[in-house]
Amino acid sequence: MLESVTSLDVEERQRLEPHDALETKMEVVGLDAWYSTKQALVDVNLNVRSNKVTAIIGPSGCGKSTLIRCLNRMHELVPGSRVTGSVLLDGKNIYGSDLDAVDVRRRVGMVFQKPNPFPNMSIADNVTAGLKLAGVKDESSMKEVERRTLERVGLWDEVKDDLKRSGASLSGGQQQRLCIARALAIEPEVLLMDEPCSALDPTATAKIEQLITSLKQTYTVVIVTHNMQQAARIADYTAFMYLGKLIEYDETTTLFENPRQELTERYITGKFG
């Protein structure tokens, strides 16, 4: 697999890669993705840095959600979908025959656009849902995890007396933080977030953004957002996509202040479409 990486055109790599020597957590190599006959991703190459927040921006329909859903093999759940190329997690291809989708998703967690807590489970059960799948049965360690992860997402003080209430009884912003807690409870290495604030009000959004910034100490975060300011606020690296292609990828400040591609410049200055 490494051969195919090094064989990439040097100029191409310079265009796509930030110039630093940080550790790579995930590496996307020559990724194409289809929905039945429609191609959604075209030869995408991307390095996701360890313990950094990477944002993916671009106009709607550019493939940014498809890309993030290829990083934990959620894309293949769509009937008729197809993926070629590879995505390396710590150097190992997640589409390889020795890894299965279930294990990949435990290591690469995901938070979605609309908060989707399990409505018939209590807040506590929502948090530990993933642990129960893994076969954890120990009550006291569950309680431990509930408290730790809810504290981590800043929800503990708000819900500690109502842990038995339905997860659906919370406000939208609280639900989204609950979903983040649910994803964190199984201790993934990477957290993917697909427009996690698009259904939330500004106050709730601010809380989530704060949370994302604090999460990178422990996790590698990849976030899709249609909101450029959000990317500028929270991301260390930003990738710009257009029509299924990765156009530019760099440190966030560089990409926003000094874009190398004209398309990128037009997009971030709002001259698009």
Partner 1 sequence: MKRRRSGADTAFKSMTLIFASSAVVLSLIYFFELYYGSTLTLKSGISFVTGSTWDPNNQVFGVLPMLYGSLVTSAIALIIGVPISLGVAIFLSEISPQVLRSPISFVVEMLAAVPSVIYGLWGLFVLAPILRTNVYPILESRLGFLPIFQGTIYGVSVLTAGIVLAIMIIPMVASISRDALLAVPDSQREAAYALGATRSEVIRMSVLSYARSGVFASIFLGFGRAFGETMAVTMLIGNTPLISASLLSPGYSLAALVASEFTEATTQVYISALIEAGLVLLVVSFIANVVARLLIRRLIRSREAASYL
Partner 2 sequence: MKLRRVVSDKLWTVFTVVALGLAIVPLLSILFDIASKGISVINLDFFTQLPPLANASGGGMGNAIQGTLLLVALSSAIGLPIGLFSGVYISEYGVTNRYGSAVRFLGDVLAGIPSIVTGVLAYTLIVLTFQSFSVLAGGVALGTMMIPIVSNTTAEALKSVPNSIREASIALGIRKWRTSLLIMANAKKAIATASLLAIARITGETAPLILTAGISTLWFSGFNQPVGSLTYYIYYFGTSPYQNWQNMAWGAALILIAIVLGINAAVRLITRGKKAYA
Among 135, 202, 270, 273, binds partner 2 (CB under 8 A): 135
Contact flags string 195-234 toward partner 1, x per CB under 8 A: ----x-----------------------------------
Please pick, from the candidates 23, 100, 144, 151, the single residue that binds partner 2 as defined by CB under 8 A: 100
Q: How far is the CB of 101 from partner 2 (least distance, A)?
A: 9
Q: What CA–CA distance (Å, rounded) separates 176 from 182?
A: 10
Nearer residue to partner 1 within complex by CB, 85 or 117: 117
21's contact among partner 2, partner 1, none, with CB below 5 to 8 A by partner kind, is none
Candidates 223, 248, 247; CA nearest to 234 is 223
Counting contacts by CB under 8 A, is residue 102 touching partner 2? Answer: yes
CB of 107 to partner 2, least distance (A): 12
Angle, CA of 249, 250 and 256, to the nearest 5°:
100
Which span (13-21, 86-94, 100-108, 259-267) binds partner 1, by CB under 8 A?
A: 100-108
In the complex, what is the shortest distance from the CB of residue 4 to partner 1, in angstroms, rounded to a whole number? 28
* 93 vs 166, beta carbon nearer partner 2: 93
Q: Which amino acid is at 243?
A: L
**Taking contact as CB under 8 A, which single stretch among the options 34-42, 104-112, 215-223, 233-241 is the one that binds partner 1?**
104-112
What whole-number distance in Å separates Cα of residue 220 and Cα of residue 88?
Answer: 14
The minimum distance between CB 133 and partner 2, in angstroms, equals 8
1 touches partner 1 (CB under 8 A): no
- Residue span 53-92 as binding mask against partner 1, x where in contact by CB under 8 A, dash where not: -------------------x-x--x-x-------------
What value, to the nearest 5°, has the Cα angle with vertex 178 and ends 145 and 125?
Answer: 55
Binding partner at 135 among partner 1, partner 2, none, C-beta below 5 to 8 Å by kind: partner 2
| Cβ proximity to partner 2, 107 vs 233, nearer residue | 107
CA dihedral 133, 138, 141, 142 (to 10 degrees): 50
Residue 177 C-beta: closest distance to partner 1, Å: 14
The span from the CA of 16 to the CA of 14, in Å, is: 5
> By the criterion CB under 8 A, which residues form the site for partner 2?
100, 102-103, 135
> By the criterion CB under 8 A, which residues form the site for partner 1?
72, 74, 77, 79, 102-103, 105-106, 109-112, 114, 116-121, 129-130, 133-134, 172, 179, 182-183, 186, 199
